[in-house]
Amino acid sequence: MNLRTTLTTLLVVTAALALAGCNNEVKRAETPPPPPTGGGDDSTSFRILVRDAYAQESTAAPITVNDKDIDFDVLDTAEFDDLIASGTINGRD
């Protein structure tokens, strides 16, 4: 073997050993789940949920729907015509 072949072989072996030590398994601390919000009420009416959303201030925190059992009690969208027809949200233009 000549010097060039020896150096190339040595470089390839070194690179292979360096890469063998690398893996994609990164150990990370588990993030705890966020605390539940929404006052602990796990059931709500869709009718009440929509009306509460329309009635709240624009700067209020979004209404939480995670982990809620929503009772889809609205069978006709006409029940919300008064909200749409008014053209306002919470009495504002």
Phi/psi class of residue 74: alpha, beta or left (left: φ > 0; alpha: ψ in -120 to 50)?
beta
Q: Are 67 and 36 in contact (CB under 8 A)?
A: yes
75-88 pLDDT, tens per residue? 888 888 888 777 66
* C-alpha to C-alpha distance for 77 and 80, rounded to whole angstroms: 6
pTM of full prediction above 0.75: no
Number of H helices, E strands in the chain: 3, 2
Residue 9 lies in a domain: no
At residue 35, the pLDDT reads 58
Q: Are 47 and 74 in contact (CB under 8 A)?
A: yes
Residue 6 lies in a domain: no
Hey, which residues does 45 pair with through a beta bridge? 71
53 or 86: which leads in pLDDT: 53
Domain containing 54 equals 42-93
User: Which tens digit of pLDDT belongs to each residue from 20-44?
Assistant: 666 666 666 677 666 555 555 578 8
- Per the structure, the count of domains in the chain is 1
> What is the reported pLDDT for 36?
55
* 54 within some domain: yes
